[in-house]
Amino acid sequence: MRILIAEDHVLLRAGLERLLGDAGHEVLPSVADAEGLLRSCAEDRPDLAVVDVRMPPTFTDEGIRAAVLLRSTRPPLPVLVLSQYVEERYAAELIAGDSAGLGYLLKDRVAEVGDFLTAVETVGSGGTVLDPEVVSQIMIRSRRSRDLDALTPREREALELMAEGRSNGSIAERMHVTAGAVEKLVSAIFSKLGLPAEDSGHRRVLAVLTYLGVDARR
């Protein structure tokens, strides 16, 4: 299999080149940024790209955004994302599309070289390999998004003010409504976010954590 490695860490890049080469694969000249990844894929037509998520220049999500672009080609290029991070937004986008020839592994959780090489073969031949932690985090993001989508604009406004640490009285003043109206909004927020009454002492905190994207109910 002709494999392209997109990894900015020079030692890891060299290690992957050696590992894949020893396993009998043809390793194309590796690249250290997303621009090089896209250019090399267009010119060299690899059978598989192994891609890091965070790459130069900002080291945020350049690699996985490039992977999304590569997966939008027809036929989509097999891509194995290999990273320390779960970039939830683009990971969800990757998985929501055609999952054939797609992998997402976390570097710290690859316990055996043999497992990694098996994943490479699986993805390169059109299979799918996803780390359970990746799937779990995407599901949490999806649930959180659904929860917040259920709120009305006024409820979201009230929740945002709660996240600023405001009391009901302060929220009422800010939203130009009565304290009773705020209590109704807050009650609706608790209900739609699935925060039971028995957690009354913590519901306000849990609601704010949900708004901030922190899953505290696992």
- Residue 78's φ and ψ, nearest 5 degrees, are -60, 130
**Tokens 């505290």 belong to residue:** 216
Specify the 3-state DSSP secondary structure of 185. Answer: helix
Which pLDDT belongs to residue 218? 46
pLDDT at 117: 96
Q: Measuring CA to CA, how many Å separate 140 from each of 89, 119, 214?
A: 11, 25, 9
Q: Hey, which bits of 21-134 come out as E strands? A: 26-27, 48-51, 79-83, 102-106, 128-130
- One digit per residue, the tens of pLDDT, for the chain of length 218 reads 999 999 999 999 999 999 999 999 999 999 999 999 999 999 999 999 999 999 988 888 899 999 999 998 888 899 999 998 888 778 877 877 777 899 999 988 888 999 999 999 999 999 888 888 887 777 677 667 777 888 898 998 898 888 777 888 989 999 999 999 999 999 999 888 887 776 555 777 777 777 766 555 54
Beta bridge partner(s), residue 104? 81, 130
Q: What does the pLDDT read at residue 217?
A: 52
Are 110 and 81 spatial neighbours (Cβ–Cβ below 8 Å)?
no
Q: Which residues contact 86 (CB under 8 A, 6 or more apart)?
A: 104, 106, 133, 134, 137, 138
CA geometry: angle at 213 spanning 211 and 214, to 5°?
110
Answer for the pair 104, 132: CB distance below 8 angstroms, yes or no. Answer: no
Domains recognised in the chain with CATH numbers: 2-131 (3.40.50.2300), 151-212 (1.10.10.10)
